[in-house]
Amino acid sequence: MKPKANQESTEPVGPRQSIPERLLGYLRQRILLLLLVALVISAILLVLVFFTGLDRNEQQAPVTDMDSVISETLEVLAASPAVSAQVYQAILPSLVVVLADARGEENGREIGSGVVISGNADVLTALHVIEDSTTIELGFADGTRTPAFVSNVDWERDIAVLRPFTPPGLVVPATVGSSSALRVGDEVFAVGNPLGLVGSLSAGVVSGLNREFQPSDRDMRLEGVIQFDAAVNLGNSGGPLLNKRGQVVGIITGLINPTDMDTFIGIGFAVPIDVAVGAAGGPAK
């Protein structure tokens, strides 16, 4: 029998796929899916690592900044001089060596300290340094050495004002502060010529105010003096006591030692500058 002319064929047109080919197609899809998932996970991990690194950097930043601040501060401190050095440089041109020949004693020249307080080169010092002396000689910071005479005294305060016969070529008066502003614990500096060591500085603090002081070798009692613990010895008498701004706040007058030795054990005294300037012709503060 002949087939009908328009009968449709039920056979597939394309080539028939085998079972292995179908399996390979399935595996390819799975592999691509796994690769896609792996890429997504990797991207997520990278993002987490990136932001974790940022957090660490932000946490470390303050430490780094603090280290930088500390380093810069130390550099500034190293470059700038200490307060004591600045105080010393400020007072050095005004510091004076006082030499007094004691009457009736061999080799009785006493060395003390003083400070220039006026444009006339008047020198403020302790009265006991030049008391009973026959001659007085002053040594100024510029190298000038000249005889001097006593222009004024305050017996009750152990203060004397000396005037040179020949003023130095360069007169640099010290800056006078106010002792009334002192408080216990304030930094102070003693400058003078202890034991003949010219131009020495020691540092300490105000240990007390309005003290009474009875010098062991003098028939007098000083009242209202400043107690301090900056080291002083023979030769410091008459020198300036300075605050941290380099201003004169006192004139050193003595020390206390319970033994017979005239050495420093931690207690020195100074006449307040507010009182001492009255002996120089200025108004007492």
Quote the strand ranges of the chain, DSSP E.
95-102, 109-116, 123-126, 133-139, 145-154, 159-164, 187-192, 200-213, 222-228, 240-242, 248-255, 268-272
Distance of CA 73 to the CA centre of its chain: 13
pLDDT at residue 4 tops 60: no
Say whether 179-280 and 92-164 share the same fold: yes
3 against 228, higher pLDDT: 228
Ordered alpha helix ranges (H), the chain: 19-79, 83-91, 127-130, 273-276
- Give me the pLDDT at residue 34, please: 75
Q: Does domain 179-280 have CATH number 2.40.10.10?
A: yes
Query: In this predicted model, what pLDDT tens digit does every residue of 91-108 receive, in sequence order?
Result: 999 999 999 987 655 556
Query: In this predicted model, what pLDDT tens digit does every residue of 131-183 receive, in sequence order?
Result: 889 999 999 999 999 999 999 999 889 999 999 999 999 999 999 999 999 99
- Give me the pLDDT at residue 264, please: 73
**What's the one-letter identity of residue 149?**
F
- Closest by Cα among 75, 113, 111 to 91: 113
Q: Which CATH superfamily is domain 92-164 in?
A: Trypsin-like serine proteases (2.40.10.10)
Query: In this predicted model, what pLDDT tens digit does every residue of 32-80 receive, in sequence order?
Result: 777 777 777 877 777 676 666 655 555 554 556 667 777 776 666 666 7
Distance of CA 214 to the CA centre of its chain: 34
- Catalytic residues, by residue number, are 128, 158, 237
Q: Can you tell me whether residue 22 is helix, strand or coil?
A: helix
d(CA 274, CA 285): 5
223 against 258, higher pLDDT: 223
Query: In this predicted model, what pLDDT tens digit does every residue of 253-274 receive, in sequence order?
Result: 988 876 666 667 779 999 999 9
* The overall pTM is greater than 0.85: no
- The domains of the chain are located at 92-164, 179-280
Whether 157 and 268 have beta carbons less than 8 Å apart is answered as no
Instruction: Grade residue 29 by pLDDT with cuts at 50, 70 and 90.
Output: confident
Mean pLDDT of 118-137: 93
Whether 249 and 243 have beta carbons less than 8 Å apart is answered as yes
